[in-house]
Chains A and B, each alone.
Chain A
């Protein structure tokens, strides 16, 4: 520790701290332009100069000068003030005083400092620059005339986001922040540059001329897109969101956001949103009705099917964008009011598959890792995860960990991704061969005696079987299947087993075949073997696609699990819920989402309740999905938009968006965070919570749904993991469930796996599945892209503008072989269907594969896929 005196205040700071950091710790304000705690010190603006008694004769930039023991610092002397005032004068020589029409007005650092330093006249005069303003880039407007050259935009783009789409251009007096040859922005449109710009040089186009910043009510809430769980600050005026910003003092994201979080809110006020319940009349048309009629009809429909055929003929599928409270009530409604365990979410794909595997290996269907662990890791191993696109803010952490703290990054991916340029080891393998690769790593670690023998012998079982089963994954065999060479496997094995803080990150939603559960088990095997689970700062992070992927599991939207991961078949656990709910729950596990769709076609499921789910677009095999929906006696769809799925329904119930309700989401870290309601509900809609309550009442079963707070209290009494989650205690940090010291630590599994029963479960895959058909030579990869999440984001026109759909990505080699050029119309055909798209040549795509995002209604990729979850092969012909 160092102790120093700043403006007569004594302060102790850690070795290596700068004077500015020490001032901050002492509570002394020092003005800055170019300093930001998320960035490396830069020392460009000289606003933060101070006097140091030990460094007499000159002013010292506090942001880039290390503090030393015994320093005596003055931050506000006449000389310091004079220097700062002169600096401001110099900045104002060229800075246009267009504050009345500048969107930064009211929250501009330059404006504030000019005011603070009472700069009423300027000793220096010159003409203004007159640079052209970039009005043409999407979402972001760049006005170089207002720039103070602090460089924070260029630095955040490089240091945090890892793109460097804007840069210092030219030098000396001519220096500007610009793009190559003054072209429009070609970037990820995360808006981090806008958020960090201290002046009005970079502004949010959606916000332009809409409101003054001081008129906005600020509401902090949680993003509804991916499972990172970023805190958003909504800027609200009247009953509309005018902008979203990141506040760098709060949230797991510490102010960072991606394009989806920052610009993807316009769907909330979309004119396409439903504002009245609909029911299907005798002519088969959906007509507007009152809530009373719609709920009456819904209750009657479910009751009829229940009485005529039995409760096991009804199924319910919800989205993992519902809040914990809503998911809890949804499954309670299904189990208690309807009496069925046919409950699932998000098609039952990916995340639950991954976590099912995890539960069987480690006892919990949950991660034991935080975002901060990723940031501080020595080694980060990314497996089947294009996280810079699916979870951009986690991508920023990886970028900073590697660039700033020299973490070693290992990337196992079936194509080149953004992370590869940071990677110490790139394992670019053949598609679908991750498990073989992981088995190869396990084999290498065992055969080279690199594994954690103590942990393996004391806390795990099944090691001998694992050893026996993976013995055949020698280097030659693994290379043959995956294409990865021996030296890279050896190096990866060494990095994983010989470092202290190791994180493995796996994304959900990129699987080619239904091997998510096995992949989870293989990853768990590797993690237990190297001892990276049950060690603080290390662990596995499965990254769910949606904001509440974890909470939806916690709350039991699964056919076989009750809230809190209690097995439905476990009598004791079931009894506890039956007693509290004053009803009986079927003891047999219900059907999964895909089983329900299969059952619907066969007649064993006759009614479905789909909440926030759009299977016609997002589930595999659209033809079968539609057929299944048409075979139903009764279908209720609850959503924000009249989706293609809703169009098939007998009753459509319009729901509220995340900004119009409160509740909690649980992010990938198991952090339960509170949503704060920002807007009054659109007239004519209800929150999912209200709908479940009212519908249940109509069915003759009363649930306590007065407020989300009350629901959480009920959850707390039944789910031990959520006992600590209490609204009065849910601060801005949220609460990480199942962790000691009120969420300060996260060792869910306990040190050295002391709290769980850890098992090695050897897994293998059927490699023959990946052999292409001769008529369909290309392997189809379906997944997410940077600018979208689910199908919701496509309703925000701004995201569609920067991330339009309608394309199929293919490699240069394949494009050459098929004689196709960029933008050329083609038909993509599988055994099941055909769609028309345009070619997008992507040099990073692996030969023999094509990629189509699944978000777009207009590009129904799931007409090509099948519900058996085997790989889909396609052929391409010119359109």
Chain B
């Protein structure tokens, strides 16, 4: 499938299961009276659901007695929180200066084409999400790509595509 990018981002629908709600409520209950617990709660909840949709945010806001706008503000600030489901493998391409001049921009175009998705989108089979980051602090290895927790440096386009293929 060609990677044409439409105006609206493709979002894969995912429902929160009753079991997940149970776990979410438990996490909230464990942190209820501890100050500064919003970020740990968001991290743990995202580990369970994979993303933080509005109804989950509202549940957390109510449980921790903070305003939903505040929760939303925190979530949208940190790039590791996501409002939409992410794929099993998150591919992050560095767009920092060093990587950019080494061609990550072209690499990104190729990856988009290959995966059939735009940046901040997820493939329909939930295998990949594609993201960009500003600098990974590994400029010596430029161009750099991070897949999940693994850092891959000194790439070229073909190598990048090969690496991505290895992630199921």
Contact = CB atoms under 8 A, between A and B. Distances in A.
A180 B69 contact: yes
B65 A167 contact: no
A421 B65 contact: yes
A164 B77 contact: no
A171 B72 contact: no
B71 interface: yes
B47 interface: no
Nearest to A185: B69
B72 A164 contact: no
Contacts, number: 49
A164 B65 contact: no
A178 interface: yes
B-side binding surface: helix, strand, loop or mixed? helix
Contact of A164 (B54, B58, B70, B76): B70
Contacts of B76: 169-171
B70 A167 contact: yes
A492 to B, nearest CB: 17
Contacts of B74: 167
B69 A170 contact: no
A168 B67 contact: no
B129 interface: no
B74 to A, nearest CB: 8
B66 interface: yes
Contacts of B70: 158, 164, 167
Contacts of A843: 62
Interface string A153-170: 010001000011111111
B73 interface: yes
Interface string B50-83: 0000100110011001111111111011000000
A187 B68 CA distance: 11
A840 to B, nearest CB: 16
Contacts of A171: 76-77
B21 to A, nearest CB: 16
Contacts of B67: 163-165, 167, 180, 186-187
A214 to B, nearest CB: 34
A502 to B, nearest CB: 23
B63 to A, nearest CB: 10
A208 B70 CA distance: 28
A179 interface: yes
B117 to A, nearest CB: 20
For chain B, give the interface size range: 10 to 19
A181 B65 contact: no
Interface in A805-848: 843
B73 A167 contact: yes
Contact of B57 (A163, A180, A420): A180
Given A164-B70, A165-B67, A167-B72, A180 B77 contact: no
A181 B77 contact: no
Contacts of A163: 67
Contact of A167 (B57, B58, B62, B69): B69
B69 A165 contact: yes
Contacts of B77: 168, 170-171
A179 B65 contact: no
A180 B65 contact: no
Contacts of A169: 69, 72-73, 76
Nearest to B67: A164
Contacts of B66: 164
A180 B72 CA distance: 5
Contacts of B65: 420-421
A170 B74 CA distance: 8
Interface in A176-232: 178-181, 186-187
A521 to B, nearest CB: 34
Given A180-B57, A181-B54, A168 B72 contact: no
A164 B70 CA distance: 6
Contact of B72 (A179, A187, A420, A421): A179
Nearest to B54: A181
Contacts of A179: 68-69, 72
B110 to A, nearest CB: 26
A645 B161 CA distance: 81
Given A165-B69, A180-B67, A186-B67, 13 more contacts: A164-B70, A167-B73, A169-B72, A170-B76, A170-B77, A178-B69, A178-B73, A179-B68, A180-B58, A180-B61, A180-B71, A181-B54, A187-B67
Interface of A: 154, 158, 163-171, 178-181, 186-187, 420-421, 843
The 9 closest A-B pairs by CB, nearest first: A167-B73, A180-B72, A180-B68, A164-B70, A421-B65, A164-B67, A179-B69, A170-B76, A167-B69
